[in-house]
Structure 1
Amino acid sequence: MATVQSKEKILNDEIMKFKSLQKEVQKCASSKGQLEAQLLENQNVKDELEKVTDGSVVYKLVGPVLLKQDLTEAKVTVQKRLDYIGKEISRYEDVIKDFEKKQDTQAEKLQKMQVDYQQAVAKAAGPNQP
């Protein structure tokens, strides 16, 4: 039979795993938020490019330099970027769901372990303790 100290160590290890899962969820949510901001920014660029008439000059910022760019090429590039960002957001949503499922499972495991630990502490304290 496991001692109170060994149960406490196992419980603490499981708590650390739970906290690690929480950090991963937060990290993924933060990355997803950044991607959503990029998506909005690129959608605004796409909207602006739709307003531009054929034959207009479009510039692309490369470092500190503005370079001429073909309007069609700019539209295609922005659309590819939107598609990529959309796929990445979807991927992060799936990863977050997976981590949340693991987190829920870990939380249930922790609850059971805490009850077991409390019972072991009470048993170790003896029948004379309230």
Structure 2
Amino acid sequence: MAAAANDAQAKLRGLTDEYTKLQQEQQTLIVAQQRLNAQKTENEGVKKEFENLKDGESIYKLVGPILLKQEKFEADSTVKGRLDFIDKEIGRLEDEIKESNTKMDDIKDKIMATQQAQPAQ
């Protein structure tokens, strides 16, 4: 009986450790997603500013300590490219978070089953 209880405890510890690890990984994914959402908002603001520019107005790009003049179409296409990339990354992270939630739910079910299978002490 004691060996079975020890095996159940070891299994429970392993599942709990795995669950904790998944929680930490998910938290990292959520932080990355929040950072990307902030970048998306910033780039959408830049895109709107570009739309408000009149023909002939200048756009400057900060490169190190220097401001370089940039053509509007070039700057606009750079921002659109960034937004496309950010959207794809946000989608990828959302998929990873969903997958992580599924794994965590599975482990939670295994933990509950293991606890219920233990004999009362």
TM-score by length of 1: 0.87
- Partners of 1:39 and 1:20 lie apart in 2 by 29
How far 1:6 moved relative to its partner?
Answer: 2.2
User: In structure 2, how many angstroms separate the alpha carbons of the residues matched to 1:64 and 1:115?
Assistant: 64
Gaps in structure 2 of 5+ consecutive residues:
none
| Structure 1 equivalent of residue 113 of structure 2 | 112
Residue 72 of structure 2 is matched in structure 1 by 71
- Structure 1 counterpart of 2:66, which letter? V
TM-score (norm 2): 0.93
Residues matched between the structures, number: 120
Q: Is 1:82 the equivalent of 2:105? A: no
Deviations 1:88-119 (A, max 9, x none): 101111110000001001100000111223x1
Cα RMSD over matched residues?
A: 1.3
Decide which structure has the larger Cα Rg and report it: 1
Match of 2:14 in 1: 13
Structure 2 equivalent of residue 39 of structure 1: 40
Could you give the per-residue CA deviations for residues 35-86 of structure 1, whole angstroms, max 9, x where no partner exists? 0000000000000011112221110011221111111100000001011101
Could you list the runs of 4 or more consecutive aligned residues of structure 1 that deviate by over 2 angstroms after TM superposition? none
TM-superposed CA distance for 1:87, in Å, is 0.8
Secondary structure at the aligned position of 1:28 is classed as helix
Percentage of matched positions with identical amino acids: 40
Find the aligned partners of 1:7 and 1:103 in 2 and give their Cα distance: 19
In structure 2, give the amino acid aligned to 1:95: E
C-alpha distance in 1 between matches for 2:58 and 2:51: 13
Provide the secondary structure at the position in 1 that maps to 2:68: strand
Aligned-partner Cα distance in 1 for 2:55–2:92? 36
Q: CA deviation at 1:3?
A: 2.5
